Structure 1
């Protein structure tokens, strides 16, 4: 899929202490799918990416527009409040 999605998803999920299983349950996929998407082993289907963005209450572009792997929890919290 897009260049940044897998690493951004993993980083944001980790700094917010959200498990792969929590996301998988919410968007109705297997936990192993989340793992494989984060590792870049398989492409994330568009519908799943949209559901993940909805899970985090952000726009779809949030995960795709830039490298977020250096963002801190504090920076992320400010962004999510906007």
Structure 2
């Protein structure tokens, strides 16, 4: 069983919830939740953030110390790269064909984009996804 699966099960039990109750609170199907807890699959980044928020724990804790707080790292990096390139949120949103509100939520650390959008952002800024997520400290342009 993965560290994530163990942490998830422990948090659920500590909070006195059944799998069905927690699945309902997360607005997912019980079998999807069960697969996570049994180590058959893992949720996407956005769902990881929702779970961490629900239990009021860090993503690092949820993933067993193997992951930085992705949302915070991502939002700080996004703002830093935008400011360095002297772009407005509106300019970026228009070029990526998303709402400025959506971009603002990413930069504000409120939500994270899905994997496909994360790749689009990396392509737009000509950096690696690892850089955007704070896993690489230097802004290395993709080849």
TM-score (norm 1): 0.72
Residues 45 and 81 of structure 1, relative CA distance in 2, 3 Å threshold = closer
Structure 2 counterparts to residues 42-57 of structure 1, below 5 A: 42-57=111-126
Distance 1:10 1:20 in 2: 9
Match of 2:98 in 1: 29
1:23-50 Cα deviation digits (max 9, x unpaired)? 2122211011111111111222222211
Q: CA deviation at 1:10?
A: 0.5
Q: How many residues align?
A: 73
Secondary structure class of the residue paired with 2:112: coil
Runs of 4+ that moved beyond 2 A: 79-82
Point out where structure 2 has 5 or more consecutive residues left out of the alignment. 1-44, 46-69
Q: Which runs of 5+ in 1 are unaligned?
A: none
Higher RCO (CA < 8 A, seq sep 6+) = 1
Structure 1 or 2, whichever has the larger Rg, is: 2
| Distance in 2, Cα, partners of 1:81 & 1:40 | 25
The answer to whether the 8 A contact 2:82-2:88 is kept is: yes
* Normalised TM-score (structure 2): 0.44
| Match in the other structure for 1:8 | 77
CA distance 1:60–1:81, change in 2 (3 Å) = closer
Q: How much is the aligned-residue C-alpha RMSD, in angstroms?
A: 2.2
